């Protein structure tokens, strides 16, 4: 054994996530080590570790030598080519049988490629989604590992210890083979995009529709977060609606530009949905709205041309309207989770992930950004019926969803009437109305396709594939 090789876990990349995960492990008494190519973050790690059992390195060989064999190195570097560069850099210092974990937001196809490549070379590889941001990493994240199942057993005790816990259960579980972990994390982020867009649209109704001031909007989000809508994202929103910079007389929120940025995981979710023909329109529209927000100059020009003075009339009973909005939010939240879970169901078949949807809901109940009281219902639905294909077909969810229909119909119809853009609310309702249609107008689409492209069609009650010379048959 090399001298000093006592550390049970190493993290390469001491940015926000790497440093905080390492400190979390050290808090729990694990001897751990971290590496960063620049020393500023190593210094920060040492300052923040306050005498804990954590070592920081800028020398890669010393870092790897400090690890106990078989060595585990988790990468928390910027997703993309940096991950490949770092793997190439550390491989010569590792031995066959050692384990590399990629804890960043890597695209699942990159994870599949890396998994195969490292397996051929004799190394274990786990692609692991980590959620919870800075605070989650430090105090207890939700983690979605996938890949080498045998190797997961080696790190399971550490990961289960540092994860958040809900009712005594850790918010980490093996997701499945290959890129399953990163796929699940990607869908988690897609759902996150949808929920954030729904909250933003709620702000639009409260502000532009009901003319509430920030204080009153804060009160609504606070009240919602105390009830069935309780979630981390509403908690965050509630707090944003009271935050002022020192000495400021107004909210920081009011100074922030209305142009949203994105790192791409929402877009990836939509792309995959399209690739495997699985509709997730509430997520899609959330991605599109972030993109539209960036066209500020065009929006300003269009606003001058199409400005519309039709405003929602002042509500005689705003509390009643907010109750409708609460129902609408509940309805759309359920729909957004349902779309994400359906994507996981289909992807599990498509990519042979063998995902257990109840386990996914279980580990999303705590530590992650989309944690919410409603995840208990999702967990219960998939635990009761492991073969459940779509959350909206679950018995216990049906009645609450039906009860929230008057609210969503009021909000979406008012948005159309008064020219307020609420596309995520509308997409959720339209998805639902199409999903509950025993007959869709898709027969006409098939006829059109056959008319102009001889794409053929199938007939009700008659086996086979048919084509018609439509023009000659129409007299």
Known binding residues for substrate are 105, 131-133, 188-189, 193, 263, 290, 449, 455
The candidate with the shortest Cα–Cα distance to 178, out of 106, 239, 231, is 106
Residue nearest to ligand NAP (CB): 15
Q: Which of 25, 77, 155, 195 is in the footprint of ligand NAP by CB under 6 A?
A: 77
Binding to ligand NAP by CB under 6 A, coded x per residue (else -) over 96-135, reads --------xx------------------------xx-xx-
Name residue, tokens 């509308």.
426
Secondary structure class of 231 (helix, strand, coil): strand
Residues 316-335 that bind ligand NAP (CB under 6 A): none
Alpha helices in 351-422 (DSSP H): 357-363, 374-384, 395-403, 405-417
Residue from 6, 61, 78, 301 in contact with ligand NAP (CB under 6 A): 78
Q: Find the shortest distance in angstroms from Cβ 103 to ligand NAP.
A: 6
Neighbours of 473 (CB within 10 A): 7
Nearest Cα to 204, choosing from 431, 35, 418, 442?
A: 418
**Closer of 18 and 146 to ligand NAP (Cβ):** 18
Render the burial of 62-72: b for 16+ CB within 10 Å, e for the rest: ebbbbbeeebb
Residue among 3, 68, 96, 192 flagged as catalytic: 192
Q: Which of 26, 42, 74, 76 binds ligand NAP (CB under 6 A)?
A: 76
Q: Is residue 270 close enough to count as binding ligand NAP by CB under 6 A?
A: no
185 has catalytic annotation? yes
Q: Do residues 231 and 376 touch, judged by C-beta distance below 8 A?
A: no
Q: Is 301 in the site for ligand NAP (CB under 6 A)?
A: no
Q: Is 54 in the site for ligand NAP (CB under 6 A)?
A: no
106, 268 Cβ separation under 8 angstroms: no
Neighbouring residues of 444: CB distance < 8 A, sequence distance ≥ 6: none
Q: Does 16 bind ligand NAP (CB under 6 A)?
A: yes
CA distance linking residue 44 with residue 46, whole number of Å:
5
Instruction: Assess 36 for contact with ligand NAP (CB under 6 A).
Output: yes
Q: Does 191 participate in binding ligand NAP (rule CB under 6 A)?
A: no
Q: How far is the CB of 203 from ligand NAP (least distance, A)?
A: 22
Report in angstroms how near the CB of residue 463 gets to ligand NAP at its nearest. Answer: 50
Minimum CB–partner distance for residue 185 and ligand NAP (Å): 8
Element spanning 125, H or E: strand 124-131
> Maximum Cα–Cα distance for the chain, whole Å?
91
Residues binding ligand NAP: number (CB under 6 A): 23
Catalytic entry in 41, 185, 267, 362: 185
Q: Tell me the CA distances in angstroms from 392 to 320, 335, 423, one per residue in order.
A: 26, 8, 20
CB 252 to ligand NAP: min, Å: 19
DSSP state of 93: G
Least distance (Å) between residue 120 CB and ligand NAP: 23
Tell me the helices (H) and strands (E) count for the chain, helix number first: 21, 11
| One-character DSSP codes across 153-193 | HHHHHHHHHHS-EETTEESB----STTHHHHHHHHHHHHHH
Residues in 129-168 that interact with ligand NAP by CB under 6 A: 130-131, 133-134
Helix, strand, or coil here: 227? coil
> Which lies closer to ligand NAP via its Cβ, residue 130 or residue 289?
130
Residue 371 binds ligand NAP (CB under 6 A): no
Q: Is the dihedral of CA 462, 468, 474, 475 positive or negative?
A: negative
Distance CA 103, CA 123 (A): 16
Q: Does 79 bind ligand NAP (CB under 6 A)?
A: yes
Q: Which of 85, 117, 239, 469 binds ligand NAP (CB under 6 A)?
A: 85
6 near ligand NAP (CB under 6 A): no
Min dist CB 407 to ligand NAP, Å, is 33
Asked whether position 181 contacts ligand NAP by CB under 6 A, the answer is no
Minimum distance, C-beta of residue 104 to ligand NAP, in the bound complex (Å): 3
> Residue 41 interacts with ligand NAP (CB under 6 A)?
yes
**Sign of torsion over alpha carbons 467, 469, 474, 475:** negative
Considering only 17, 101, 143, 166, the residue that binds ligand NAP (CB under 6 A) is 17
Active site residue 192: yes
Catalytic residues, which ones? 185, 192
Residues that bind ligand NAP (CB under 6 A): 13-18, 36-38, 41, 76-79, 82, 85-86, 104-105, 130-131, 133-134
């Amino acid at each position: 054994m090399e001298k000093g090789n006592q550390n049970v876990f190493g993290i390469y990349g001491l940015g926000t996530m790497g440093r905080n995960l390492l400190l979390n492990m050290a808090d729990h008494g694990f001897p751990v080590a971290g590496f960063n190519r620049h020393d500023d973050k190593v210094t920060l790690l040492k300052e923040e570790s306050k005498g804990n059992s954590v070592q920081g390195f800028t020398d890669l060989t010393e870092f790897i030598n400090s690890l106990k064999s078989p060595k585990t190195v988790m990468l928390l570097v910027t997703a993309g080519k940096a991950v490949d560069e770092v793997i190439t850099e550390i491989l010569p210092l590792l031995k066959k049988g050692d384990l590399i974990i990629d804890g960043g937001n890597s695209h699942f196809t990159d994870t599949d490629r890396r998994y195969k490549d490292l397996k051929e070379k004799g190394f274990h590889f786990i692609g692991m989604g980590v959620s919870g941001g800075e605070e989650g990493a430090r105090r207890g994240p939700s983690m979605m590992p996938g890949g080498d199942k045998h190797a997961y057993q080696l790190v399971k005790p550490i990961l289960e210890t540092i994860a958040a816990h809900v009712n005594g259960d850790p918010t980490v579980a093996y997701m499945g083979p290959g890129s399953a972990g990163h796929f699940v994390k990607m869908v988690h982020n897609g759902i996150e995009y949808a929920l954030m867009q729904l909250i933003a649209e709620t702000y639009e109704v409260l502000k532009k529709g009901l003319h509430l001031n920030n204080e009153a909007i804060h009160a609504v989000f606070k009240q919602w977060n105390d009830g069935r809508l309780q979630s981390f994202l509403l908690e965050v929103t509630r707090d944003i609606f009271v935050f002022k910079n020192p000495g400021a007389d107004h909210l920081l929120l009011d100074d922030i530009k209305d142009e949203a940025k994105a790192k791409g995981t929402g877009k990836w979710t939509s792309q995959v949905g399209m690739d495997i023909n699985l509709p997730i329109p509430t997520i899609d529209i959330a991605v599109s709205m972030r993109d539209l927000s960036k066209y500020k100059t065009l929006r300003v020009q269009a606003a001058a041309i199409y400005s519309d003075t039709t405003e929602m009339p002042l509500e005689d009973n705003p509390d009643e309207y907010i109750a409708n909005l609460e129902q609408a939010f509940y309805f759309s939240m359920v729909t957004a989770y349902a779309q994400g879970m359906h994507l996981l169901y289909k992807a599990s078949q498509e990519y042979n992930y063998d995902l257990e949807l109840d386990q996914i809901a279980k580990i999303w109940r705590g530590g992650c950004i989309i944690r919410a009281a409603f995840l208990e219902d999702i967990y219960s639905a998939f635990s009761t019926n492991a073969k459940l294909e779509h959350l909206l077909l679950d018995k216990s969810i049906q009645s609450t969803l039906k009860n929230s229909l008057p609210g969503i119909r009021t909000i979406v119809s008012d948005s159309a009437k008064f020219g307020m853009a609420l596309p995520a609310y509308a997409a959720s309702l339209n998805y639902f109305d199409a999903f509950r249609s025993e007959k869709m107008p898709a027969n006409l689409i098939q006829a059109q396709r056959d008319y102009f492209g001889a794409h053929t069609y199938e007939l009700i009650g008659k086996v086979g594939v048919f084509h018609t010379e439509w023009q000659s048959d129409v007299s």
